[in-house]
């Protein structure tokens, strides 16, 4: 049997597996929100500054004008931070320095954070400019409503609740939209739970969506754009055009990188018009609803003389500088680092997992990709074309950052590729399902390695990193010895959540990851003769 299938007596299995994978995603999101130290999310204090500006002033922030609040500014001097953050904020206490402080001093700092007057959120005088103030507003509006609702709570508790608002919404939206995309692509019901498990066992999904920012909405909206494009391709009428236009508009009002998806959608509509498969009413419905985002981008042009409003573009960097940087950029190292970073990146500390483990994951993904290429079908290439359009935009951003930092950064924003994760896993699972025995074993290997990565993320990486293990090379023996020390006292000062809750949730994740891996391998990638 070449295609994977399930027998009639196992029809209820995938539904139970989907429920278990959904619980797995929710538990991971809750754990990540409680474990991630205050402001350790990518650019989190400045994203939260955007949220506060909306909640307090009811006005859109503006680059070069809006400042972060005194509440955030003071908290940066009290909360421990990564050694990378110290490059921009030299006054912060690194995690290693915080772990070395006497216990009473660590507790006093935490208590002082909780004692920060809530009315400081309304004071911006003296605070630095917010370099995230140019972002599109849609994802911040519900977070601002949450910030207003919990405005009287201590800062740490408030930030955790706002993180949870975005992270749980991201899990729910991504679950729903991935299932819709899987059905549109014809992915067998038995393979939808494995696809979602691969998605929800990626550490970068939570590093991207489980902190205060706009990515919680941008990631699932990318899946929505891909789904709407597939629907328009198959039935290019005004209804599917309206859905595609709305999806693109929502994306553009969430993050400027959806300009690449707007270009892809425009190309799709133009192609179908030329082939006389789409009507002008369908094209006008798409363009008209996508144009809902136009006022925001007109504002960018008026304020920053830049369509995207990106900090680098607003600083005057344009195509000539980017092209020059692209010619100088060490692309092999940049692409390898970007690929590894898309699998695992240690939040704002930007440390990495074992390169051997991550490279093994990349090799398995490449093998699955080869299997898909060998057996791909026409509509699936539309998904691949959209992904390639977005990857082209990422290469431009890499060169832009390289030019802006004068060669200091050649791999930018490792959280951007996470937007392609759902379409990618759907295509890969299609390839695995058509490859017989090879697909089954590669699928099992991917599930096993993904289960290991997400379990080790907490047990061997994040908890030790934030619990005072330090920058020493980690080995199994040292890790066991470290867990015998008083690490909980350090973690209680760095992680915003209760230590006992973090440990319970970690235990649940480890058990679920191992159990789901075994179930999904046996049920959906069975050995030959049991399909």
> Are 378 and 297 in the same domain?
yes
Looking at the 3D structure of the chain, how many domains does it have?
A: 2
pLDDT at 13 over 80: no
Q: Which range has the worst mean pLDDT, 144-148, 313-317, 433-437?
A: 313-317
Task: Note the pLDDT of residue 404.
Answer: 84
pLDDT at 125 over 90: no
Please tell me which residue, 58 or 314, carries the higher pLDDT value.
Answer: 58
Note whether residue 57 is domain-resident. Answer: yes
pLDDT at 7 over 60: no
> Are 58 and 89 in the same domain?
yes
Task: Note the pLDDT of residue 413.
Answer: 85
Task: Note the pLDDT of residue 526.
Answer: 54
Residues 6+ apart with CB under 8 A from 36: 163, 210, 211, 347, 462, 495, 496
Task: Note the pLDDT of residue 415.
Answer: 94
Residues 405, 387: Cα–Cα separation, whole Å: 27
Confidence bin at 517 (pLDDT 50/70/90): very high
Confidence bin at 473 (pLDDT 50/70/90): confident
Note whether residue 179 is domain-resident. Answer: yes
> Are 142 and 182 in the same domain?
no
Q: Average of pLDDT values for 506-513?
A: 98
What integer best gives the mean pLDDT of the chain?
Answer: 92
pLDDT digits 0-9 by tens, 52-78: 999 999 999 999 999 999 999 999 999
| 426: exposed, middle or buried (Cβ count in 10 Å: 0-12, 13-18, 19+) | buried
Note whether residue 19 is domain-resident. Answer: yes
pLDDT at 1 over 60: no
> Are 42 and 113 in the same domain?
yes
Task: Note the pLDDT of residue 14.
Answer: 46
Task: Note the pLDDT of residue 11.
Answer: 45
Residues 152, 286: Cα–Cα separation, whole Å: 43
pLDDT at 2 over 80: no
Task: Note the pLDDT of residue 312.
Answer: 75
Listed residues 116, 144, 165: the one ending a domain:
165
Residues 389, 507: Cα–Cα separation, whole Å: 40
Q: Residue holding tokens 């690449």?
A: 260
> Are 24 and 78 in the same domain?
no
Residues 394, 415: Cα–Cα separation, whole Å: 11
Expressed in angstroms, the distance from the first to the final Cα of the chain is 7
Listed residues 138, 165, 192: the one ending a domain:
165
Please tell me which residue, 527 or 452, carries the higher pLDDT value.
Answer: 452
Task: Note the pLDDT of residue 524.
Answer: 57
Confidence bin at 472 (pLDDT 50/70/90): low
pLDDT at 12 over 60: no
pLDDT at 339 over 70: yes
Q: Residue holding tokens 């205050």?
A: 38
Q: Average of pLDDT values for 89-99?
A: 94
Instruction: Specify the pTM.
Output: 0.94
pLDDT digits 0-9 by tens, 350-383: 999 999 999 999 999 999 999 999 999 989 999 9
pLDDT at 253 over 90: yes
Residues 415, 477: Cα–Cα separation, whole Å: 32
Say which DSSP state 170 is in. H
Listed residues 165, 187, 220: the one ending a domain:
165
Note whether residue 263 is domain-resident. Answer: yes
| 263: exposed, middle or buried (Cβ count in 10 Å: 0-12, 13-18, 19+) | middle
> Are 434 and 342 in the same domain?
yes
Confidence bin at 528 (pLDDT 50/70/90): low
Note whether residue 146 is domain-resident. Answer: yes
Residue-number span of the structural domain to which 344 is assigned: 8-34+166-524
Cβ contact 157:490 at 8 Å: no
Q: Average of pLDDT values for 427-440?
A: 93
Encoded tokens for 121? 């959120």
> Are 449 and 326 in the same domain?
yes
Note whether residue 529 is domain-resident. Answer: no
> Are 160 and 181 in the same domain?
no
pLDDT digits 0-9 by tens, 324-338: 988 999 999 999 999
pLDDT digits 0-9 by tens, 210-225: 999 999 999 999 999 9
> Are 177 and 302 in the same domain?
yes
Note whether residue 3 is domain-resident. Answer: no
> Are 381 and 487 in the same domain?
yes
Say which DSSP state 496 is in. S
> Are 72 and 175 in the same domain?
no
Confidence bin at 313 (pLDDT 50/70/90): confident
What percentage of the chain has pLDDT greater than the value 90? 83
> Are 139 and 258 in the same domain?
no
């Amino acid at each position: 049997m070449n295609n994977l299938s399930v027998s009639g007596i196992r029809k209820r299995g995938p539904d139970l597996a989907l429920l278990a994978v959904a619980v797995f995603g929710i538990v991971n999101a809750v754990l990540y929100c409680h474990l991630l130290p205050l402001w350790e999310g990518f650019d989190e204090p400045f994203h939260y500054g955007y949220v506060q500006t909306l909640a307090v002033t009811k006005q859109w922030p503006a680059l070069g004008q809006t400042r972060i609040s005194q509440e955030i500014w003071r908290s940066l001097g009290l909360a421990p931070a990564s050694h990378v953050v110290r490059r921009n904020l030299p006054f912060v206490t690194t995690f290693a320095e915080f772990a070395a402080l006497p216990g009473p001093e660590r507790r006093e700092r935490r208590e002082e954070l909780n004692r920060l007057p809530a009315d400081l959120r309304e004071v911006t005088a003296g605070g630095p400019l917010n370099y995230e103030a140019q972002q599109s507003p849609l994802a911040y509006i519900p977070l601002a409503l949450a910030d207003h609702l919990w405005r009287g709570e201590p800062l740490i508790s408030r930030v955790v609740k706002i993180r949870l608002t975005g992270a749980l919404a991201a899990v729910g939206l991504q679950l729903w939209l991935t299932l819709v995309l899987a059905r549109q692509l014809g992915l067998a019901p038995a393979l939808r739970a494995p696809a979602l498990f691969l998605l929800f066992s990626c550490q970068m999904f939570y590093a991207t969506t489980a902190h205060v920012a706009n990515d919680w909405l941008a990631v699932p909206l990318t899946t929505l754009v891909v789904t709407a494009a597939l629907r328009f391709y198959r039935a290019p009428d005004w209804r599917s055009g309206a859905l595609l236009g709305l999806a693109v508009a929502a994306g553009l009002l969430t993050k400027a990188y959806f300009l690449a998806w707007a270009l892809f959608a425009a190309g799709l509509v133009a192609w179908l018009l030329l082939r006389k498969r789409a009507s002008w009413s369908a094209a006008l419905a798409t363009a008209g609803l996508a144009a809902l985002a136009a006022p925001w981008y007109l504002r960018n042009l008026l304020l920053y003389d830049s369509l995207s409003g990106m900090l680098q573009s607003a600083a005057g960097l344009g195509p000539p500088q980017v092209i020059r940087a692209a010619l100088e950029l060490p692309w092999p190292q940049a692409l390898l680092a970007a690929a590894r970073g898309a699998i695992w990146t240690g939040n704002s500390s930007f440390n990495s997992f074992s390169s051997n483990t991550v490279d093994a994951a990349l090799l398995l993904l490449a093998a699955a990709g080869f299997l898909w290429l060998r057996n791909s079908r026409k509509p699936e290439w539309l998904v691949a074309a959209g992904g390639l359009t977005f990857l082209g935009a990422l290469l431009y951003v890499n060169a832009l950052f390289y030019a802006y930092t004068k060669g200091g950064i050649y791999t930018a924003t490792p959280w951007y590729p996470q937007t392609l994760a759902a379409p990618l896993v759907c295509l890969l699972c299609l390839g695995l399902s058509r490859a017989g025995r090879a697909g089954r074993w590669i699928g099992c290997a991917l599930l096993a390695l993904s289960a290991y990565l997400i379990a080790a993320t907490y047990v061997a990486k994040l908890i030790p990193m934030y619990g005072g293990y330090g920058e020493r090379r980690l080995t199994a023996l040292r890790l066991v010895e470290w867990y015998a020390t008083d690490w909980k006292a350090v973690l209680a000062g760095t992680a915003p959540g209760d230590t006992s809750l973090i440990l319970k949730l970690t235990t649940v994740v480890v058990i679920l990851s191992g159990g789901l891996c075994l179930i999904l391998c046996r049920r959906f990638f069975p050995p030959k003769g049991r399909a």
